[in-house]
Amino acid sequence: MDDNSGGDLKLKSGGPRSAVRGRASGGCGRRSAVGGRKAVFLDRDGVLNRAIVKDGRPYPPQSLEEVEVIEEVPQALRSLKEAGFLLIGITNQPDVARGTQRREVVESVHRLLLETLPLDQILVCYHDDADGCLCRKPQAGLLYQAAEQYGIALSSSFMIGDRWKDIEAGRRAGCVTILIDYHYAEKEAIPPPDWRARSLEEAAHWICNRLKGGKN
């Protein structure tokens, strides 16, 4: 179910227009640069705010009070913004479908992040695996939705996350993928990310250097 062909088949059969269009530029990676804006897609927990780590695995903060923006994040996002990127949060929040979190709380966290950080938007999947939706990472539905909404060239864009599902979603959309590697006690991304960083700051430097090198 997590393999690429399965995911793409689902998009082909049931996906919205944006998903189908996205599929054309996704999966096989390096299409030549197409017109469109460039974006950095950012996972939320562990990338923007600190994840709550228990037994080596990351969890979202349970309340607004538990939200802690990682200290280097504002500056890293500013540098990406100055380099011309749209900055879009892409997050799975399945605790809402599981009944252990309220959607209002998640929305209040996002209001806080949008007020505090130079993000353009945060797109959310509230489903769990059983819902079979197209937006829950490793599906790339939210990246396709953003691409449609903002006119983003996915092959000139980046996905930054701290778990394999982030990397796989970015890869399926045809983005360059960066793992902020906390060495969680869980499955690794296969195939691996294009690059590994220790922090968002490091990832932002890498992206900006790559731009100067003319690779994107």
- 45 catalytically annotated: yes
Q: Which is nearer to Mg ion, 8 or 43 (CB)?
A: 43
Q: According to CB under 5 A, which one of 8, 43, 168, 194 is a site residue for Mg ion?
A: 43
Q: Which of 2, 3, 8, 45 is catalytic?
A: 45
In the complex with Zn ion, the residue whose CB is nearer, 26 or 176, is 26
Which residues are paired to 92 by β-bridges?
125
CB of 118 to Mg ion, least distance (A): 20
Asked if 168 interacts with Mg ion (CB under 5 A), we say no
Q: Pick from 136, 137, 165, 171: which binds Zn ion (CB under 5 A)? A: 136
Among candidates 196, 188, 156, 162, which has minimal Cα distance to 174? 156
CA distance 52 to 67: 9
Of 15 and 158, nearer to Mg ion (C-beta) is 158
Backbone angles phi, psi at 136, to 5 degrees: -80, 120
The alpha-carbon radius of gyration of the chain (Å, integer) is: 16
Which of 40, 73, 80, 125 is the binder for Zn ion (CB under 5 A)? 125
Q: How far apart are CA 40 and CA 80, in angstroms?
A: 8
d(CA 188, CA 169): 13
By a kind-dependent CB cut-off of 5 to 8 A, residue 43 interacts, out of Mg ion, Zn ion, none, with: Mg ion
Task: Give the residue among 112, 124, 40 at the shortest CA–CA distance from 77.
Answer: 40
Candidates 128-136, 147-155, 165-173, 206-214; binding stretch for Zn ion (CB under 5 A): 128-136
With tokens 């799975």, the residue in question is 92
Question: Which residues are the active-site residues?
Answer: 43, 45
Residues of this chain that bind Zn ion (CB under 5 A): 125, 127, 133, 135-136
Binding site for Mg ion (CB under 5 A): 43, 45-46, 162
